[in-house]
Amino acid sequence: MKIFLSFLFIICSLLAFSQKKVIDHTIYNDWRKTEAQNISNDGNYISYEINPHRGDGFLYVYNSSTSKTDSFPRGKEAKFGTNNNYLVFKITPGFDTLRNCELNKVDKKKWPKDTLGIYVFAKDSLIKIPLLKSFSVFEDNDWLSYVVDENEIKTTATKSEKEKQERGGKTSV
């Protein structure tokens, strides 16, 4: 009986060791890392990014008073407002989209632009502003400033005005 139990123990331990995954270059894309951890001034909110080695990551916001976690795909560079009323972050285009633009040798000016995400805690809502170039949050007051690509906005506005004129409609300014 002792020989049978020891033989069974050896077989079980060999099976347990044989289930481990081999670490080589093929699993690097499965690895994830935690980056850009921020804590709000009052300590009620915590933001952090979990990004894969290659691909799109997530921005997470944890509310410590309600134990609720919200996530935003492709969120980067999160910053809290001074009075902890909002969280501002950049929403990048998808990794596959940018990779296709790179492989097809599309001009950098025609690549998809980032989007500004403003998450308002009181309303539990997300405001998105497209064509983002940069943003900053002031330290002394609760102000936010951002710069968008004005040329893109004018181009789309002039196209829509031209389409209305072609159809015979009137445009008002």
Q: What is the pLDDT of residues 133-158, one digit of tens each?
A: 889 998 888 888 899 987 655 555 56
Instruction: Give the other-Cβ count within 10 Å of 122's Cβ.
Output: 7
pLDDT above 90 (res 110): no
| Mean confidence (pLDDT) of the chain | 82
Q: What does the CA dihedral 36, 72, 79, 67 come to, rounded to 10 degrees?
A: -90
Q: What is the pLDDT of residue 22?
A: 72
pLDDT above 60 (res 173): no
The reply to whether the predicted model has a pTM over 0.85 is no
Distance CA 125, CA 159 (A): 31
pLDDT above 60 (res 168): no
Q: How confident is the model over 166-170, as a mean pLDDT?
A: 56
Q: What is the pLDDT of residue 39?
A: 93
